[in-house]
Amino acid sequence: MPTIICKTGKIPPKPPQKLTRGAQRREAILDSALRIICSEGIQNLTTRKAAEGAGITEGALYRHFSGKGEMLRCLVERLAEGSRIEKDGSTGWAGIEAFLRVRVKRVIREPELAKILFSEFMFTNEPACEDLMFQLMHRNLEELSVYFEQAQKAGELRDDIPPKTLFRLIFGPIRLVIQQWGLTEGSFPLEEEADRIIQTLKSILKSP
């Protein structure tokens, strides 16, 4: 239901679909929970803090989520969907670049994300989040694999490296630079550094 393929190739900044008042509160709670995880760690996320950060009391939180577990699952879901939405129509190497840049731009827009977007293990122990994390990782591999094939057919990418290895060679550096940026609270120009990585990857991975 949330997968919106944009045929025009543009990124709709905000889906025009208005949130009901109830859904707005849910979002506020999830925002609050995310903020707490990023600033205090998942081990310090409590229902009380999440509720208070959203301007309601602990008890009221249970009107919106069946419990802490569901809240976390929804948070991870939202996290996972986030990057998928903004796909444009690029293909081949341009598709790869778009995939990477979407993630970079997302953490620049929401800097707290830098800290947790690739901390998959953190959610691994929350029952019902584990599967989601796997799916997310797998979806990324699948999406990129499509681009790999296109790029290889188009002669933009050498074809002697298996897709899984390509995935690690290409996504690994971007993940690391985003994690470093988050860890150091944005101490360097992320977009620039990411660009350098992407350009270098393009040049060293091009068909010889």
Partner DNA sequence: AATGAATGAGTTTTCATTCAT
Partner DNA sequence: GATGAATGAAAACTCATTCAT
Contacts with DNA, residue ranges (CB under 7 A):
20-22, 25, 44-49, 56-64, 67-69
Tokens for 12? 């709709």
Work out how close the CB of 134 gets to its own copies at its nearest, in angstroms, rounded to a whole number.
7
Tokens for 48? 């009380």
Tokens for 138? 């797998």
What is the spatial distance between Cα 120 and Cα 5, in angstroms, rounded to a whole number?
26
Considering only residues 178 through 207, tell me which ones interact with its own copies, judged by CB under 8 A: 179-180, 182-184, 193, 196-197, 200-201, 204-205
Angle at 108 between CA 107 and CA 110, to 5 degrees: 60
Considering only residues 46 through 105, tell me which ones interact with its own copies, judged by CB under 8 A: none
Work out how close the CB of 92 gets to DNA at its nearest, in angstroms, rounded to a whole number.
45
Tokens for 173? 């550096």
Q: Which stretch binds its own copies (CB under 8 A): 2-10, 42-50, 59-67, 74-82?
A: 42-50
Closest to DNA by CB, 64 vs 101, is: 64
Binding pattern for the stretch 133-162 against its own copies, x by CB under 8 A and - elsewhere: xx--x-----------------------xx
Q: What one-character-per-residue DSSP string does 42-82 give?
A: GGG--HHHHHHHTTS-HHHHHHH-SSHHHHHHHHHHHHHHH
